Structure 1
Amino acid sequence: MAQTLDNQNKWDLSLLNINEKTFDPLVYFQPLQTENTLFVNKWKDDQTYLSDPYKLKEALDELENIESRYDSGGDAGYYFELRSAQEQDSSVIKGFLNQIHEFAVKIENERQFFLINLSKISPDNQNIFLNSPILKKHKHFLETLFRDARFILSDKEEQLLNITSNSSYGNWVQMTSDLISREEREIPDETGKVSNQPVTQIIKLTNSPNKKVRDQAAKAYNDILKKYVDVAEAEMNSIIQHKRSIDKVRGFTRPDESRIISDDMELATVDTLLDSVVSRYDISKDFYKFKAKLFGFSKLAYHERNLDYGRINKEKYTYEYSVNLVKTVFKNLDAEFMDIYECYLNNGRFDVFPRKGKVFGAFCSSGHLEQPGYILLNHTDLLTDVTTIAHEMGHAINNELIRKSQSAFYFDTPLSTAEVASTFMEDFVLEELEKTASDELKLAILIKRLDEDVSTIMRQVACYKFEQDLHNAFAQQGYVVKDEISKLFQKNMADYMGEGVSMDAGSENWWVYWSHIRSFFYVYSYASGLLISRSLQHKYKEDHSFMNHIKEFLSAGTSDSPYNIFMKMGIDIKDGKFWFDGLNQVSENLSKAKNLATKLGKI
């Protein structure tokens, strides 16, 4: 196993059949251009698809076939997106990505008339199509298209937005991320050795059990953020202004409306989730006070809020050990989960260790329907790295089950449910660790679980509220200076953390490198995903045969709305009581941790 893992700790991108040294975008995209032109010429001349269900099915099947192979630039677009995560500062990769993006936008613009025209048909024809047996496969695709028609602009306007998306948004975001990723600082590692560390490793070391190490890492990280706060101010104002302009043209009435609608959710449902979580900020405030007492601190420093407690600090979770632990969990849960995991492990689907220029954090990339999935990690032998493997494999399992069951139009997950599978897998890994744990280790794992719960639910909702405040401030003022952005950030962080965490100098700039605030109003999905996941776990533990329903959900993709998918499982996400039930589970775990800490004489 060790040798296999050593040989498979970087992605095998040969599966995508792209030669980086000889790649020529013009040659690569010629077949796609030909196929796209045939589609465009055929359906611009023949508009019977706007009234004839049989013709519409023919056209949709052709479109789906193109998208299943060439969406987002096909294998080349996917390859260079992945390579850019490995080498953020490569100008060659950036050049290819720009060329690919330009071509992908061009061909998308050529054929987007098709869906725009379809979205504008009469209500009578909409009903005919939605009730046609021959179009049953495409029903939800059509439902969402007709629902969103009021926000869709003219063909020329949509083309212009597509063409300018990188220059007016993407390049700004990439610039800030790239600049920060290049930074290094001389700081001590866990052994006391002082050396240049990349920013990804510096962030990891802010959670070091050694106070001297974590404090110096935090100081170095704060220094990096301070260096780029002016850049981030300009970036955030520019991309918010860009978004606000588009929202006005499309007719959205709230900054988060486009996100919620694109997720196939209702604003009222998300508002209920947010209000429910904010009303239980007492849980996170109480937790941080309790955690500070466990460490013997009057308060936790801002960078110490996720500090590992107890024996977890002293354990080294090597990549090999972590892989095998997650393997045990998947074996116990479901044979198909295990098969997917083995496929990823044995076929170069993981990029494991941190290095300079590599993107920070972790992600699972699904590609399109006919492409392999890949997982990026930055493994540094911490418990969070174990749960990260489980988390990203949750996404991978979700993606592979959709790939097996759905067509290209439905090969996706609504953001509101995208984090369900990932958090589901994380929790079972922690439970596996608890099976053989002493009371001391059980307490440490409970604290770790509470850390994850508070960070996933309360912190993400606080971030969402920060985004709302920031977008509203921009709407009122036309520009928000860095100091005000920082004040809004600190206010919302303090709202959920309370008096157990100090807002130290430097912490006001931690929004600078928080990538999710650039993917506007993304973060609610972490809270919704975990709370829904807890419900699924509870049902599975009551009856293991419920796994069949869980796999049906994981296989559904975007073939139906999240509300309908969960209602089939007896879960009503419109009911406020549902969210409170999940929050009460967090509160119960906090009580367990307090009782165990008292029993052990820790407080």
Structure 2
Amino acid sequence: MKITWDLSPLFKSDNDPKIEKQRKRVLTATNSFVKKWKSRGDYLLSPVILKKALDDYENWLRFYGFNSQEDYYFHLRTSQDQNDPNLKAHENKATEFSKKIENDMEFFKLRIAKIKPKLQKKFLTYKPIAPYKHFLEHLFIKSKYLLSEPEEKILNLKGITSHANWVKMTQGFLTKEEANVLDEEGKKTVKNFTDLTGLMRSRNKKARDKAAEAFNTILYKHSDVSEHELNSVFLNKKINDELRGFDRPDKSRHIGDDIETEVVDALTKTVTKHFDIPKRYYKLKAKLLKVPKLAYHERNVEYGEIDKKYNYEESVDILTKVFGNLDPEFAEIFTKFVNEGRIDVYPKKGKYSGAFCTYGLIIHPTYSLLNWTDKLNDVLTFAHEMGHGFNFEFVKKAQNSVNFGTSTASTEVASTFMEDFVLEHLLETADEELKLTLLIMKLDEEISTIFRQVAFYNFEWELHKKLREKGYLSKAEIGELFQKHMASYMGPFVEQSEGSQNWWIHVQHFRYFFYVYSYASGLLISKSLQSSVKKDSKFIVKVKEFLSAGTSDSPKNIFNKLGIDITDKTFWEKGLSEVEDLLSETEKLAIKLKKI
């Protein structure tokens, strides 16, 4: 069992001479591909020659790719120590190199996308091209919105100054902030901005209120800058959308994610229609906490006590058992992660503060990062990240490098699937007091994942619409819109407290436009798969088929093969009814235990 990453399959050290050699190999392979195909047009006319070009492209993606070995390595190393300027410099250098490679290779997909419609059918029905069929289908769909090669290059390059640098600036200001607050025991302490979000969930009211006060002060301090930042990146998107011909602000997200607009509309409208569920939940939580209303920052306050500590080794045993019960292959893959140094377990100074699971090229190992503190939530986070890990490993095994990856629309399915089965295992051995605590914890998460994210989506929609109409929105106008949409799902038992009008400032997802729907879609689809496995354990074979699909087909078609129609609002309603059932169970248990 290893508790830190073993990155030697990538490079042996930050100064490994192989880094420069690998960079030269990537450059040579890229130049070779460009030299061979850029001056030719025959592959755009003949399916036989296109197959050869796609095979070359698949080989290039497999061994060199856009996310180069160097880029991947330094992304991981920087996550281990964000305070090391040398690592940041290495990462920036690697990212710039990857961006150059991306621009050099841009011509290939652009030219294929521009294949005339009358020839497209000929290409798609040519059987030897079948492994790349959906890759071509998606490019043909995107072609309507693509510009010329020089124009695409300009948009790609200006994205750094017109979007990325603005976002990095605001995020950089926030991450540097610290505040004098109270810890769980009520003692004075200094916490950074990220830690304040955790402290606002504290059972100690003085501690959470002090943390919220500090959090709001920091947001207010940066509100003028954030106003200009958000207006700038939204205006940049408006310009890009107009140049490309997108007819609605979220269309580019749908096209990029390979998801039909009708699917996202069915999801968001159905969830919005059921905002009575979170309102009912917050009424219950206010009663449990013995307050007439929850302050805005108290929505996710921890309820009850979880005294048990879960050390890492014990948790590995729990997850091995749960994964193995689902299918032995899950346990086998998990054991490899644990034993081969694919998991960086414990927190340390400078380390990225959250958790993630990530991949580079199809030939590279998958790595996961945790910040283990022996809490029950660490066990669930571990299961969540391993869900992503299983997804990546199954795709590696089943797909070529062109189809390696996951759609945003379905990327959270595997993670929540595994997390929920582990929680169910923990509930089996819990007494009623602990069970109520766990159910509240689960509902906190599900309300935030489904309803809050859809409220975010609705807020984004109106924000883009208003900004395009007016040309500029003040921070007061943005804050007013934000509170309107937060109140729409929270209801009368959560205050839109003073300061909460600025909480849009720290939500990074608003800068990665309309991403948030994927959290809701992922969890609701996951619930459907869980239900099917509970009814028939053999359905896990179908789940593994989904995990192996990658981007070989659209999410709509992949789920259709599992008997799931994600365009049908009744499908989403079934998932929401499960949340409602969980809420009813929690209410009954709270009454039984005389908590309300």
Q: Give 1:26 shift.
A: 6.4
Q: Find the partner of 1:532 among 525, 534, 546.
A: 525
Question: Counterparts of 1:343-358 in structure 2 under 5 Å?
Answer: 343-355=336-348, 357-358=350-351
Pair 450,73 (structure 1): closer, same or farther in 2 beyond 3 Å? closer
Q: Find the partner of 1:45 among 39, 50, 58.
A: 39
Q: Find the partner of 2:379 among 386, 404, 412.
A: 386
Q: Give 1:278 shift.
A: 0.5
1:296 aligns with 2:290: yes
1:160 aligns with 2:154: yes
Aligned partners of 2:463 and 2:481 also within 8 Å: yes
Aligned partners of 1:460 and 1:527 also within 8 Å: yes
Pair 271,474 (structure 1): closer, same or farther in 2 beyond 3 Å? same
Matched residue, 2:395: 402
Aligned partners of 1:181 and 1:357 also within 8 Å: no
Q: Give 1:442 shift.
A: 1.8
1:567 aligns with 2:560: yes
Aligned partners of 1:209 and 1:308 also within 8 Å: yes
Q: Find the partner of 1:437 among 430, 454, 472.
A: 430
Q: Provide the rounded CA distance (Å) in 2 between the counterparts of 1:246 and 1:18.
A: 42
The Cα offsets for residues 239-287 of structure 1, whole Å up to 9 and x where unpaired, read as 1111111111111111110111111111111111101000100000010
Q: Give 1:550 shift.
A: 0.4
Q: Provide the rounded CA distance (Å) in 2 between the counterparts of 1:586 and 1:84.
A: 38
* Aligned residue pair count: 596
1:186 is paired with a residue whose SS is strand
2:495 is paired with a residue whose SS is coil
1:307 is paired with a residue whose SS is coil
Q: Give 1:536 shift.
A: 0.5
Q: Find the partner of 1:264 among 253, 258, 262.
A: 258
Q: Provide the rounded CA distance (Å) in 1 between the counterparts of 2:169 and 2:63.
A: 30
Question: Counterparts of 1:110-189 in structure 2 under 5 Å?
Answer: 110-189=104-183
Q: Give 1:25 shift.
A: 7.6
Q: Provide the rounded CA distance (Å) in 1 between the counterparts of 2:503 and 2:27.
A: 44
Question: Counterparts of 1:489-500 in structure 2 under 5 Å?
Answer: 489-500=482-493
Aligned partners of 1:18 and 1:75 also within 8 Å: no
Q: Find the partner of 2:439 among 446, 453, 457.
A: 446
Pair 533,354 (structure 1): closer, same or farther in 2 beyond 3 Å? same
Which ranges of structure 1 fall in alignment gaps of 5 or more residues? Answer: none
Q: Provide the rounded CA distance (Å) in 1 between the counterparts of 2:240 and 2:476.
A: 26
Matched residue, 1:374: 367
Pair 600,221 (structure 1): closer, same or farther in 2 beyond 3 Å? same
Q: Find the partner of 1:468 among 461, 470, 491.
A: 461
Q: Find the partner of 2:225 among 210, 231, 238.
A: 231
Pair 17,365 (structure 1): closer, same or farther in 2 beyond 3 Å? same
Q: Provide the rounded CA distance (Å) in 1 between the counterparts of 2:148 and 2:507.
A: 34
Q: Find the partner of 1:65 among 56, 59, 74.
A: 59
Greater shift after overlay, 20-29 or 73-82? Answer: 20-29
Aligned partners of 1:49 and 1:59 also within 8 Å: yes
Greater shift after overlay, 279-288 or 166-175? Answer: 166-175
Pair 223,379 (structure 1): closer, same or farther in 2 beyond 3 Å? farther
2:222 is paired with a residue whose SS is helix
Aligned partners of 1:72 and 1:104 also within 8 Å: yes
Matched residue, 2:540: 547
Pair 234,350 (structure 1): closer, same or farther in 2 beyond 3 Å? farther
Q: Provide the rounded CA distance (Å) in 1 between the counterparts of 2:542 and 2:203.
A: 41
Q: Give 1:103 shift.
A: 2.5
Pair 508,18 (structure 1): closer, same or farther in 2 beyond 3 Å? farther
1:299 is paired with a residue whose SS is coil
1:510 is paired with a residue whose SS is helix
Pair 233,340 (structure 1): closer, same or farther in 2 beyond 3 Å? farther
Specify the code of the residue in structure 2 equivalent to 1:293: K
1:428 aligns with 2:421: yes
Aligned partners of 2:263 and 2:566 also within 8 Å: yes
Question: Counterparts of 1:249-288 in structure 2 under 5 Å?
Answer: 249-288=243-282
Q: Provide the rounded CA distance (Å) in 2 between the counterparts of 1:210 and 1:331.
A: 39
Specify the code of the residue in structure 1 equivalent to 2:440: I
Greater shift after overlay, 93-102 or 16-25? Answer: 16-25
Matched residue, 1:362: 355
The Cα offsets for residues 364-415 of structure 1, whole Å up to 9 and x where unpaired, read as 2122211222222334444333221111111111111101111111111111
Q: Provide the rounded CA distance (Å) in 2 between the counterparts of 1:18 and 1:236.
A: 41
The Cα offsets for residues 67-120 of structure 1, whole Å up to 9 and x where unpaired, read as 222223411111222233344454433433333333222232223222222221
Q: Provide the rounded CA distance (Å) in 1 between the counterparts of 2:246 and 2:82.
A: 34
Q: Provide the rounded CA distance (Å) in 1 between the counterparts of 2:247 and 2:276.
A: 31
Greater shift after overlay, 206-215 or 52-61? Answer: 206-215
Aligned partners of 1:323 and 1:389 also within 8 Å: no
Matched residue, 2:324: 331
Question: Counterparts of 1:59-98 in structure 2 under 5 Å?
Answer: 59-98=53-92
1:309 aligns with 2:303: yes
Q: Find the partner of 2:512 among 519, 536, 550.
A: 519
Matched residue, 1:586: 579
Q: Give 1:30 shift.
A: 1.8
Q: Give 1:23 shift.
A: 6.9
1:15 is paired with a residue whose SS is coil
Q: Provide the rounded CA distance (Å) in 2 between the counterparts of 1:460 and 1:399.
A: 24
Pair 159,52 (structure 1): closer, same or farther in 2 beyond 3 Å? same
Pair 67,522 (structure 1): closer, same or farther in 2 beyond 3 Å? same
Q: Provide the rounded CA distance (Å) in 2 between the counterparts of 1:352 and 1:449.
A: 23
The Cα offsets for residues 417-439 of structure 1, whole Å up to 9 and x where unpaired, read as 11111111111121111111112
Q: Provide the rounded CA distance (Å) in 2 between the counterparts of 1:319 and 1:168.
A: 43
Specify the code of the residue in structure 1 equivalent to 2:421: F
Aligned partners of 2:29 and 2:64 also within 8 Å: no
Aligned partners of 1:18 and 1:76 also within 8 Å: no
Aligned partners of 2:413 and 2:523 also within 8 Å: yes
Aligned partners of 1:73 and 1:100 also within 8 Å: no
Q: Give 1:236 shift.
A: 1.5
Specify the code of the residue in structure 1 equivalent to 2:327: D
RMSD over aligned Cα atoms: 2.0
Q: Give 1:522 shift.
A: 0.5
Which ranges of structure 2 fall in alignment gaps of 5 or more residues? Answer: none
Greater shift after overlay, 155-164 or 506-515? Answer: 506-515
Pair 350,182 (structure 1): closer, same or farther in 2 beyond 3 Å? farther
TM normalised by structure 2 equals 0.95
Q: Give 1:564 shift.
A: 1.0
Aligned partners of 1:354 and 1:377 also within 8 Å: yes
Aligned partners of 1:200 and 1:354 also within 8 Å: no
Greater shift after overlay, 138-147 or 327-336? Answer: 327-336
Matched residue, 1:101: 95
Matched residue, 1:197: 191
2:179 is paired with a residue whose SS is strand
